[in-house]
Amino acid sequence: MAESDIYTGDGTVDIKGNPAIKSKTGNWKTCPFILGNECSERLAYYGMSTNLVNYLIDRLNQGSAQAAKNVTNWSGTCYIAPLIGAFLADAYLGRYWVIASFSCIYVLGMTLLTLSASIDGLKPTCHDGKCHATSGNVAMFFVALYLIALGTGGIKPCVSSFGADQFDETDEKEKKRKSSFFNWFYFSINIGALVASSVLVYIQENVGWGWGFGIPAVMMALAIVFFFSGSKLYRIQKPGGSPLTRLAQVIVASLRKYNLKVPTDKALLYETEDSESGIKGSRKLDHTKELSFFDKAAVQTQHDQVKGFFNPWRLCTVTQVEELKSIIRILPIWSSGIIFSTVYSQMSTMFVEQGDKMDPSIGPHFSIPAAALSIFDTLSVIFWVPIYDRLIVPLVRKYTGHERGFTQLQRMGIGLAISIFSMVVAAVVEIIRLDRVKKHNYYDLKHMPMSIFWQVPQYFLIGAAEVFTFVGQLEFFYDQAPDAMRSMCSALSLMTVALGNYLSSLLVTIIIHVTTRHGKLGWIPNNLNHGHLDYFFWLLAVLSILNFLVYLCIARWYKYKKTTGGFS
């Protein structure tokens, strides 16, 4: 039997550092541990975050706008922190050890959060439905919250990439399964979210916040158990050294040689002589003509050697140059996800506050918390993932001939289009709600007689958009990233969620400042019955349309990367 039939061809190793054996490691056999880990972790995350805006309002006495901004700022940090975990994974530790170490920080944060909501002296004191929080209560709460942000951020960019690493890039059969893995990975996320947005939100509203935060803490501990249980079966990609250093070297070398002319024959550019790349865990990349200024870094001169060795700050390989080009090409596609993430962030802020003013009752004896309506987003994802994977892809494949049905860029574009309709529906629901408030003088009612289930379509549409855009992004950023920079590119993908949350927070701040002048209540007052939240949703719909049109131009320009040779 040939060695290529025994060992993986993508340079992965097992937990002991030995070359990974195909029959004993990776593939679908490792997925129950990775998907179980992700499902439990997402249950923990959404279990404490879905209803967070109401905890800030009810327990910490923050106004609607201030609570929304704090949630979006924290959520944004959760999606900025992946840059830290991704860098450590790609450069030094590898994805396995980053997941293991940051999970411990995550559990610590969850534990402190539970204590801050359940222990006398640490939790706010409440009497007759009104709560008072000391500066110490608030401080401990936010310390715990941002420890969770660091923990979840550290593992976010690594888990999906680590799961994809279990499928050998050089094996055609395994490579085809990788696309399906991303669908089921996102499916597992939403199974966790389903429990969080239904059971845990109900517990928080009706049993107590101590239990409501304590159960997610236990689930995070269970996520760690899932992860370590599969250790003997995992394929581990070796770290390739600092990606930021390699990118900086290309930029510096190009600037040093700004006056040189790039030869027309690409064979004259510097590259390692053997078939493997000089970067660990990476294949060579084909030379491309675009962004030719950076090719100057691969032009050899007599000044490039120092004591018989090439100075990497003066001469870079073609593959190293193409790494930088790949990142630059990805950035416009990346930027298009920011507005989409702004729309997505409304589920945990403005959708909840909109729902808080509507009738939550189901029959005479049961009420559904507004935050629990995100369950319909989750159900939408759970509905669409298998439909997409098992029905849409095979059907579309017959017409396009593309293995995935839609290309990654087409898939993301469809999701961007669907998100526009979610904002339009949210705006129409708010127009109808405010019309009834005005007509029947419901201004001071806590819950007006209009069912909260009017919000279901806007949640369901966002769920459908997620299946196309977010899952498409997961696959796109893994596939189009240079081999040794996959965690970093996954972090870039997640960073759009952070910037989307920050943009949402910025828009709310600007709108409040502009619309509350001269004694006016503005679009988003504490009592939304006196406001115009529909204007905010229309604004997001317009921004989404503009974003979609720009995306179409960017997608037409984009060229997919091409690799050559084997893994180093």
- pLDDT tens for 214-245 read 999 999 999 999 999 999 999 998 888 888 89
Residue 232 is predicted with a pLDDT of 93
The mean of the pLDDT values for the chain is 87
More confident residue, 174 or 159: 159
Mean pLDDT across 417-444:
93
Mean pLDDT across 94-117:
92
User: Is residue 461 domain-shared with residue 399, that is, in the same domain?
Assistant: yes
Residue 119's domain is classified under what CATH number? 1.20.1250.20
- Quick: pLDDT tens for 12-23: 888 988 988 888
User: Is residue 475 domain-shared with residue 345, that is, in the same domain?
Assistant: yes
More confident residue, 425 or 258: 425
CB 195 within 8 A of CB 375: no
> Residue for token digits 């975050």?
49
Domain membership of residue 329 (yes or no) is no
Domain membership of residue 2 (yes or no) is no
DSSP conformational letter for 262: P
Domain membership of residue 342 (yes or no) is yes
Query: What is d(CA 347, CA 424) in angstroms, rounded to the nearest whole number?
Result: 14
User: Is residue 438 domain-shared with residue 294, that is, in the same domain?
Assistant: no
Please choose, from the candidates 485, 93, 161, 491, the residue with its C-alpha nearest in 3D space to the C-alpha of residue 324: 485
Residue 393 is predicted with a pLDDT of 85
- Domain boundary, last residue among 324, 355, 376: 324
Residue 97 is predicted with a pLDDT of 93
Domain membership of residue 460 (yes or no) is yes
Q: Which two tokens stand for residue 475?
A: 């696959």
CB 493 within 8 A of CB 334: yes
User: Is residue 138 domain-shared with residue 61, that is, in the same domain?
Assistant: yes
Query: What is d(CA 520, CA 68) in angstroms, rounded to the nearest whole number?
Result: 20
Domain membership of residue 54 (yes or no) is yes
User: Is residue 222 domain-shared with residue 261, that is, in the same domain?
Assistant: no
Query: What is d(CA 64, CA 361) in angstroms, rounded to the nearest whole number?
Result: 22
Please choose, from the candidates 193, 231, 198, the residue with its C-alpha nearest in 3D space to the C-alpha of residue 96: 231
- Domain boundary, last residue among 302, 324, 346: 324
DSSP conformational letter for 406: S
CB 438 within 8 A of CB 359: no
Beta strand extents in 333-452 (DSSP E only): none
Residue 475 is predicted with a pLDDT of 86
Asked if residue 1 has pLDDT above 60, the reply is no
User: Is residue 418 domain-shared with residue 558, that is, in the same domain?
Assistant: yes
Highest mean pLDDT among 73-77, 427-431, 445-449: 427-431
Domain membership of residue 3 (yes or no) is no
Domain membership of residue 532 (yes or no) is yes
Mean pLDDT across 181-199:
84
* Across 169-173, 226-230, 313-317, 534-538, least confident range: 169-173
User: Is residue 263 domain-shared with residue 201, that is, in the same domain?
Assistant: no
Structural domain boundaries enclosing 31: 9-239+336-564
Domain membership of residue 181 (yes or no) is yes
- What is the model's pTM? 0.80
Asked if residue 557 has pLDDT above 60, the reply is yes
User: Is residue 492 domain-shared with residue 348, that is, in the same domain?
Assistant: yes
User: Is residue 158 domain-shared with residue 285, that is, in the same domain?
Assistant: no
- Domain boundary, last residue among 276, 296, 324: 324
- At residue 338's C-alpha, the angle toward residues 335 and 342, to 5°, is 170
Q: For residue 66, which amino acid is it?
A: Q
- Quick: pLDDT tens for 409-421: 999 999 999 999 9
* Domain count across the chain: 2
* Across 3-7, 316-320, 473-477, least confident range: 3-7
User: Is residue 503 domain-shared with residue 456, that is, in the same domain?
Assistant: yes
User: Is residue 119 domain-shared with residue 13, that is, in the same domain?
Assistant: yes
User: Is residue 210 domain-shared with residue 314, that is, in the same domain?
Assistant: no
